[in-house]
Amino acid sequence: MGSEKKKVMVAIDESECSRYALQWTLDNLSQTIDDNSQLVLFTVQPISECTYAYASSFGAAPPELIRSIQENQNKIASALLEKAKQICANNGISPIPHQSNPHSIAG
């Protein structure tokens, strides 16, 4: 067959379940995550906080408030990815981090 790299993706958030999923992946699939495959860490920023901001002010939330909430969510997602990358490094794996921001998706 071809030499296409296989990918293993683990979605992470702040929950204990996602930390368990990452550790399970590292414990059980580390031998398959080598030069022929990649571990992708994926996190998505929630949109609920902005929804509450809009709802609480009936759609008149100041843009500065929305930007502040989004910046805070970026920091949280980045911290999650950094922590997960450290866990991977402790297990000898170099993951590919990916962060998705639903606010930037055109709809």
Residue 23 reports pLDDT greater than 90: yes
Average pLDDT value over all residues in the chain = 77
pLDDT score recorded for residue 25? 92
What residues form DSSP beta bridges with 98?
Answer: 42
pLDDT of residue 20: 94
User: What would the mean pLDDT of 13-28 be, rounded to a whole number?
Assistant: 91
pLDDT given at position 38: 85
Residues 69-99 as b or e (16 or more Cβ within 10 Å = b)? bbeebeeebeebbeebbebbeebebebebee
Choose between 11 and 34: higher pLDDT.
11
Task: Work out the average pLDDT over 82-92.
Answer: 91
- Residue 70 neighbours by CB under 8 Å, 6+ apart: 45, 50, 101, 103
User: What domains can be seen in the chain, in order of their start residue?
Assistant: 6-100 (3.40.50.620)
Is the pLDDT confidence value at 104 over 60? no
Structure tokens at 76: 């949280």
Residue 72 tokens, joined = 């805070």
Q: Is pLDDT of 105 > 50?
A: no
Highest mean pLDDT among 9-18, 38-47, 68-77: 9-18
